[in-house]
């Protein structure tokens, strides 16, 4: 059964818009768990534009599910992760000027550096995932580097329609099978919403979907617990 990781970065976005103490993403993580979230995802960015150090350490102490820390492969973030000890880390590309993550991590071009980085995390008993585009070469290099997971970038699928979306869906399906054949656990995420999630959730061997923006947006109308519950129902309806 495919599980649901809920990204609560956008709760922190609202807080940081006024540089105040509310809404507290740590408190909202409880509601996400009540709605059925199987893990909580946060991206601690270099510029700290939303999630703060305080948030990740409190989440680790208080949530009842699993903590997925998204981060760039930098020395600063490595030290934080080794102190925090999240259930797993997802390495993502990061640019200060981007609104959100724009594409997958190019593991092919950073094999030696990432091998050492991933090994250091695994030595602290942290499982590690690579957020990558659904491409065979990226999957193969992810295996070579030593990642436990890959998270397939579904942003292009989410942006396309009609036959073009179908073609991208087939690429994600093929990539899922290729990664599983190599012994990698496969997650997926980015741009998924209540209208497009079911086809991705129906792919065999997808372990977990990480979804944030659409759930938080829906929560403005129905509350976070209910919006998570609705998304979980769609994922499990196949």
3-state secondary structure 111-128: HHHHHHHHHHHHHCCCEE
- pLDDT tier at 103, thresholds 50, 70, 90: confident
| Structural domain harbouring 128 | 3-235
Tally helices (H) and strands (E) across the chain. 11, 8
Query: Phi/psi of residue 211, each to 5°?
Result: -135, 135
Please pick, among 94, 190, 208, 225, the residue that the annotation labels catalytic.
190
- The yes-or-no verdict on residue 98 having pLDDT over 60 is no
Token pair in block for residue 154? 């579904």
Q: Stretch 150-178: mean pLDDT, rounded?
A: 98
Clarify whether 43 is annotated catalytic: yes
Q: Stretch 109-124: mean pLDDT, rounded?
A: 97
Q: Indicate which CATH number applies to the domain containing 201.
A: 3.20.20.70
Report the C-alpha gap between 163 and 79 in whole angstroms. 45
Looking at residue 105, its pLDDT comes to: 95
Clarify whether 208 is annotated catalytic: no
Number of domains present in the structure of the chain: 1
- The yes-or-no verdict on residue 101 having pLDDT over 90 is no
Is the whole model's pTM more than 0.85, yes or no?
yes
- The yes-or-no verdict on residue 224 having pLDDT over 60 is yes
Average pLDDT, the chain: 96
Report the C-alpha gap between 85 and 83 in whole angstroms. 6
Looking at residue 238, its pLDDT comes to: 75
Please pick, among 33, 70, 127, 225, the residue that the annotation labels catalytic.
70
Clarify whether 163 is annotated catalytic: no
């Amino acid at each position: 059964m495919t599980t649901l990781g809920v990204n609560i970065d956008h709760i922190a976005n609202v807080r940081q818009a006024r540089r105040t103490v509310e809404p507290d993403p740590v408190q909202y993580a409880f509601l996400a768990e009540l709605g059925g979230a199987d893990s909580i995802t946060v991206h601690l960015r270099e510029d700290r534009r939303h999630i703060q150090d305080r948030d990740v350490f409190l989440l680790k102490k208080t949530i009842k599910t699993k903590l997925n820390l998204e981060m760039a492969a930098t020395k600063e973030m490595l030290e934080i992760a080794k102190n925090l000890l999240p259930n797993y880390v997802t390495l993502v590309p990061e640019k200060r000027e981007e609104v959100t993550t724009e594409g997958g991590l190019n593991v092919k071009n950073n094999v030696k550096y990432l091998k050492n980085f991933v090994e250091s995390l695994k030595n602290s008993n942290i499982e590690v995932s690579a957020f990558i585009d659904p491409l065979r070469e990226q999957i193969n290099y992810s295996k070579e580097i030593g990642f436990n997971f890959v998270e397939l970038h579904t942003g292009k699928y989410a942006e396309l329609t009609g036959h073009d979306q179908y073609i991208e869906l087939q690429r994600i399906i093929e990539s899922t099978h290729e990664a599983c054949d190599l012994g990698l656990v496969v997650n997926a995420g980015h741009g998924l919403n209540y209208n497009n999630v079911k086809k991705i959730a129906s792919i065999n061997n997808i372990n977990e979907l990480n979804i944030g923006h659409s759930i938080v947006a829906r929560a403005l109308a129905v509350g976070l617990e209910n919006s998570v519950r609705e998304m979980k129902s769609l994922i499990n309806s196949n």
